[in-house]
Amino acid sequence: MEHNEKTIGKAGLIDIPNEILNHLATFLTLQHISRLAQASRQYRAVFEEILYQRDARNERPEALLEAGFSGNLGTATKALAHLKGRSLPTLENGWNPLSLAVRIGHKALVKLLLDSDRIDIDINEVDSRSSTLLLHACSSEDPSMVELLLSVGGIDIHKTSSNGLEPLAVAAGAGNLEAVKLLASHDDARLDSKGRFSEPLWYAAGEGHEDVVKFLLDTCKSDAAACNAVGRTPLHRAAAFGKDAVVKLLLAADGVDANAHDGEGCSALHFAAQGGHMSAMKVLLDVGGAELDSKDRFWRTPLMYAAMAGSEDAIKLLLERGADPRAEDDRLNTATVIARGAGHYGVVGILLMAILEIDDKMKEKENEEVRKREDGEEKGKEEQMEDGEEKGKEKKMEGGGEN
């Protein structure tokens, strides 16, 4: 049964008995019911009661879920009256009223639900969205929600999502500095976990959150050179995403090496060149002293990575700084061959011109050496001739003296 929203209102339903309204509600969506409930007090009373009853039977949990969206405490209080000893109703996409309220930021509603004795809540439960309440809170920009959840007894600050993210790493990645401070204040905070995604500094570096990175380095003394499971450091990640300001911060930290290689042999410059991140490349070269022709485990250089990606600006910068366009990988491919295979013909042209310039300079250098050698030989002959003439004169003088 379909309804046109514009035709639903006071005029058509003003005298409909409650029994018919109850029957009508079974065919309506939450949006239609909410619109009808605004028509009169009678409709609101009838339809709200229908929603609360649905929550109690867990058929369509619109009332409490609507409260999760809106933060309406009155609606939530009435809905809770029908849920004694029940679990929170959940939508098909995994959201429940409490997780919605946490994510949206309805602090008063969160407190009401957590304090209620009418529903069963596991504060550390991982929902069908592979997240916990604390992880949802850390994803927002409001640190007060994190503070509220941390005040609840028994909360696990190390409970991870399915991809291994801990709350501290999520807060760091979201740039929620105050939440990071709250979580880091725990004595058992894991600041340097070796897990693939759980190292907060590594995660914050990739998102470019300078304030979080600075706090983790200066206050928490987080290890800036710590590697994840595949050998990558925060510097690798910051360079890969072109976060030049964070790259500069990390290069100033103890133990950070601009030429450190990950498990594949890639340096930070490989990642920056692949992404065409010019500012990050310049910081790595000028501040970090990054090696221009550093090789990964397949002997590929940053120039080859830029050629593969088709980044003409990165190619030009590396060539200007002295990168070798004739270097070969373990299959004897040069950057030119790699660029041609990827269809980056503009890059091919730049590399070929660079090779021609190098060849011209080499030929000029060889010619100069030949000229110097010829000049030297000519000078030697002249000196020999002059020496011979001088000796001849001396002999004549000696012969004349004897007579």
Domain ranges across the chain? 1-82+100-116, 137-151+163-204
B/e letters for 119-148, b = 16+ CB within 10 Å, e = fewer, are: beeebeeebebebbbbbbbbbbebbebbeb
CA distance 362 to 358: 6
Q: How many CA atoms, within 13 angstroms, populate the side-chain half-sphere of residue 19?
A: 0
160-175 confidence digits (pLDDT tens): 877 788 899 999 999 9
Contact by Cβ (8 Å): 335, 307: yes
Q: Give the pLDDT score at 121.
A: 85
Q: What's the Cα-to-Cα distance from 261 to each of 101, 232, 269, rounded to whole Å?
A: 44, 8, 10
Task: Name the pLDDT band for 30 (thresholds 50, 70, 90).
Answer: low
Average pLDDT, the chain: 83
228-270 confidence digits (pLDDT tens): 888 999 999 999 999 999 999 999 999 999 999 999 999 999 9
The yes-or-no verdict on residue 69 having pLDDT over 60 is: yes
Q: What's the whole-number mean pLDDT along residues 43-47?
A: 69
* Residues in a beta bridge with 120: 87
Percent of the chain with pLDDT over 90: 45
Percent of the chain with pLDDT over 70: 74
Q: Output the pTM of the full model.
A: 0.73
Task: Name the pLDDT band for 373 (thresholds 50, 70, 90).
Answer: confident
**Chain centroid to CA 67:** 33
Q: At what angle do helices 345-402 and 312-320 cross, to 10 degrees?
A: 20
Beta-carbon count within 10 A of 33 CB: 22
Q: Which carries the bigger pLDDT value, residue 69 or residue 334?
A: 334
Residue 211: closest CA among 141, 261, 148, 144: 141
Q: Which carries the bigger pLDDT value, residue 148 or residue 1?
A: 148
Secondary structure class of 86 (helix, strand, coil)? strand
CA distance 113 to 95: 15
**Chain centroid to CA 242:** 10
Task: Name the pLDDT band for 10 (thresholds 50, 70, 90).
Answer: very low
Q: Give the pLDDT score at 6.
A: 41
Task: Name the pLDDT band for 1 (thresholds 50, 70, 90).
Answer: very low
Residue 87: closest CA among 105, 53, 110, 64: 64
Q: CA-based Rg of the chain, rounded to a whole angstrom?
A: 37
CA distance 272 to 309: 11
CA distance 327 to 318: 13
Q: Give the pLDDT score at 3.
A: 43
Q: Give the pLDDT score at 393.
A: 63
199-220 confidence digits (pLDDT tens): 899 999 999 999 999 999 999 8
Q: What's the Cα-to-Cα distance from 334 to each of 139, 261, 273, 301, 318, rounded to whole Å?
A: 44, 21, 16, 9, 15
Residue 320: closest CA among 281, 368, 287: 281
* Residues in a beta bridge with 226: none
Q: Give the pLDDT score at 268.
A: 97
**Chain centroid to CA 345:** 30
Contact by Cβ (8 Å): 56, 83: yes
Contact by Cβ (8 Å): 327, 335: yes
Question: What is the DSSP code string of 280-312?
Answer: HHHHHHHTS---TT---TT---HHHHHHHHT-H
Q: Give the pLDDT score at 124.
A: 87
Q: Give the pLDDT score at 275.
A: 96
Residue type, 313: D
Q: What's the Cα-to-Cα distance from 91 to each of 98, 127, 196, 242, rounded to whole Å?
A: 12, 11, 31, 39
Secondary structure class of 356 (helix, strand, coil)? helix
> In terms of C-beta density within 10 A (0-12 exposed, 13-18 middle, 19 or more buried), how is residue 340 classed?
middle
Greatest mean pLDDT among 92-101, 132-141, 293-302 lies in: 293-302
The yes-or-no verdict on residue 276 having pLDDT over 80 is: yes
Q: What's the whole-number mean pLDDT along residues 137-155?
A: 88
The two tokens of residue 206 are 């990739």
Q: Which carries the bigger pLDDT value, residue 296 or residue 366?
A: 296
CA distance 15 to 355: 88
CA distance 80 to 91: 17
- Between strands 86-87 and 119-120, the pairing is parallel
CA distance 50 to 42: 13
The yes-or-no verdict on residue 5 having pLDDT over 50 is: no
Task: Name the pLDDT band for 343 (thresholds 50, 70, 90).
Answer: very high
296-342 confidence digits (pLDDT tens): 999 999 999 999 999 999 999 999 999 999 999 999 999 999 999 99
Residue 347: closest CA among 357, 362, 337: 337
The yes-or-no verdict on residue 137 having pLDDT over 90 is: yes
Q: Give the pLDDT score at 163.
A: 76
